[in-house]
């Protein structure tokens, strides 16, 4: 797999509000993410994890500093080009799943491919394989309301990885499932990382997510407190 830097964050600052009610969500963050990493960002509530994830994904705009995705400063992109970057190069997994209620598991999982213009037969074949990979064979025609939380999150994972993005951003991916399901989801994503070379960056409070990561970045008060390489099989660290 390629070992090039695909995410480059420099002196990233994000402020919300103004004057006496100004909140500094990020305070000069520097971060490099290399292709093939399986990395978790941990820290207490308000430490800036989700804000940083949203900045990297181009879902929010920095107050100052820069975020480069595959060498492109996303703040300099037009709205259309930024949307295309998110569609084609970045997969998203949200803690609330963000599935479309009136679409089946198959239709949700193929949604990005449809936006990319892939022909129906080709994308159905591709997505059927991805759904099988995540353990959803036989559930392709079920709607989100007919699926458990863990199954819905598997659909969200399938949707994120089906277009073969350079990077998958996962915001609290185990927050709404039980510990057993969360462990299975993390094992699934790590297998995709190892076998397919998919790059993952998580924000999390979950000790088992931190334990399975091969790099653990700690944020505190909007800044990077530490970055530690680990084997992905150690004891759960303290998220505080």
Span 65-85, pLDDT tens digits:
999 999 999 988 999 999 999
C-alpha closest to that of 73 among 29, 9, 15: 9
pLDDT score recorded for residue 235: 52
Span 185-212, pLDDT tens digits:
888 889 889 988 889 999 999 998 999 9
CB 11 within 8 A of CB 4: no
pLDDT category of residue 178 using cuts at 50, 70 and 90: confident
SS (H, E, C) the chain: CCCCEEEEEEEEEEEECCHHHCEEEEEEEEEEEECCCEEEEECCCCCCHHHHHHHHCCCCCCCEEEEEECCEEHHHCCHHHHHHHHHHHEEEECCCCCCCCCCCHHHHHCHHHHHCCCCHHHHHHHHHHHHHHCCCCCCCCCCHHHCCHHHHHHHHHHHHHCCCCCEEEEECCCCCCCHHHHHHHHHHHHHHHHHHCCEEEEEECCHHHHHHCCEEEEEECCEEEEEEECCCCCCCCCCC
Span 25-78, pLDDT tens digits:
999 999 999 999 999 999 998 899 999 999 999 999 999 999 999 999 998 899
Question: pTM, whole model, 2 decimals?
Answer: 0.89
Q: Is 172 left (phi over 0), alpha (psi -120 to 50) or beta?
A: left
Percent of the chain with pLDDT over 70: 96
- State the chain's mean pLDDT as an integer: 90
Overall average pLDDT of the 135-161 stretch? 94
pLDDT category of residue 2 using cuts at 50, 70 and 90: very low
CB 202 within 8 A of CB 40: yes
- For the chain, list the domains and their CATH numbers: 5-229 (3.40.50.300)
Does 239 have pLDDT greater than 80?
Answer: no
């Amino acid at each position: 797999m390629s070992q090039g830097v695909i995410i480059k964050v420099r002196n990233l600052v994000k402020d919300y509000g103004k004057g006496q009610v100004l909140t500094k969500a990020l305070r000069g963050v520097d971060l490099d993410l290399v292709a093939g990493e399986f990395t978790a960002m941990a820290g207490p509530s308000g430490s800036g994890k989700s804000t940083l994830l949203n900045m990297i994904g181009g879902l929010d705009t920095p107050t100052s500093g820069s975020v480069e995705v595959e060498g492109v400063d996303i703040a300099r992109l037009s709205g259309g080009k930024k949307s295309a970057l998110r569609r084609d190069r970045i997969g998203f997994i949200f803690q609330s799943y963000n599935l479309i209620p009136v679409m089946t598991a198959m239709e949700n999982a193929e949604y990005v491919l449809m936006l990319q213009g892939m022909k129906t037969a080709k994308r159905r074949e591709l997505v059927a394989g991805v759904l099988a990979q995540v353990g959803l064979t036989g559930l392709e025609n079920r709607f989100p309301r007919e699926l458990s939380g863990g199954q819905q999150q598997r659909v969200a994972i399938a949707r994120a990885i089906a277009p073969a993005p350079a990077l998958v951003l996962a915001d609290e991916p185990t927050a709404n499932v039980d510990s057993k399901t969360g462990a299975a989801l993390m094992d699934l994503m790590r297998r995709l990382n190892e076998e397919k070379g998919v790059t993952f960056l998580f924000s999390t409070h979950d000790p088992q997510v931190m334990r399975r990561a091969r790099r653990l970045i700690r944020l505190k008060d909007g800044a990077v407190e530490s970055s530690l390489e680990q084997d992905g099989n150690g004891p759960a660290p303290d998220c505080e």
